[in-house]
Amino acid sequence: MAGQSGTGTSATRRLGILVIFLLATLALCGLWFSAEDVVQGSTVRIMYVHVPSIWTAYIAFGLTALCSGVYLSGKNRSLAWDRVAGASGEIGVLFVAVSLVTGSMWGRLTWGTYWVWDARLTSTAFLFITYVGYLAVRQLGGTHRQRARRSSVLALLAILEIPLVHFSVTLWRSLHQEATVANPNAKVELDGLMLFSLFLGLVAFTMLFAWLVLHRQRGMMLEDAFSDRGLDVAITARRNEAGA
């Protein structure tokens, strides 16, 4: 068991080193090597954080829903699924917040204002609030099993918002531009290094997400163990009082 733990820690450390390398490369490509946009100038560099952050949030919330579904399926009621779901949800909220902040900065430079009640912005803000609520539900009282059941149900409902957010720019009139790379009909073309930097950002942020989930779910496991130990101590003390 100790050998497996040591191997896991070593793998996590190597993943962390890879993440640092990818993020450093992204910073160099995005800030210095990549060319400015012909229309937006240096403002386009925000894209290398803004797009990967919302991409990673989608992955995070998808993993939260997947682990929640596995837990509720009854085939494997291990609390490890719930801990991964919770860790992924927390990190997803962080990346949505980054997306909202960078999007507001981009909007200020492009539209002249930090915020408009646009379909994409509003739906993304609602997504952020929903998953903040998910994290709040996880903190309600009860046993670990009760926490897992109620949060799993909410996670499976909340994931339905992802398509709404993603396709909001086509479902309603929106100031937010449509997909550039994934849309074959898009009229916007990216320079080769700009495209490389964007995909590098997607990879780097995805690896960062994986590294954060590994660490956070381990922290949650220790929190659960500490909580259980405290409950055991309380029960033992209560029994001793009753015996006396």
Enter the pTM of the model: 0.81
- DSSP helix/strand/coil, 178: coil
CA-atom Rg of the chain in angstroms: 22
Task: Identify whether the C-beta of residue 222 lies closer than 8 Å to the C-beta of residue 215.
Answer: no
First-last CA distance in the chain? 40
35-39, 64-68, 95-99, 231-235: segment of lowest average pLDDT:
231-235
For residue 141, give the amino acid letter. Answer: G
* 148: Cα within 13 Å, side-chain hemisphere: 22
Does the domain at 15-243 match CATH 1.20.120? Answer given as yes
For residue 11, pLDDT beyond 80: yes
Residues 225, 244: Cα–Cα separation, whole Å: 29
**Per-residue confidence (pLDDT) for residue 117, from 0 to 100:** 81
For residue 45, pLDDT beyond 90: no
**Tens-digit pLDDT profile for residues 85-137:** 999 999 999 999 999 999 888 878 877 788 788 888 888 999 999 999 999 99
**Per-residue confidence (pLDDT) for residue 106, from 0 to 100:** 82
Domain coordinates of the chain in residue numbers? 15-243
Query: Nearest Cα to 35, choosing from 224, 202, 193?
Result: 193
Q: What residues does 37 pair with on adjacent strands?
A: 41
**Per-residue confidence (pLDDT) for residue 244, from 0 to 100:** 52
**Per-residue confidence (pLDDT) for residue 3, from 0 to 100:** 46
Query: Nearest Cα to 147, choosing from 236, 85, 63?
Result: 85
For residue 216, pLDDT beyond 90: yes
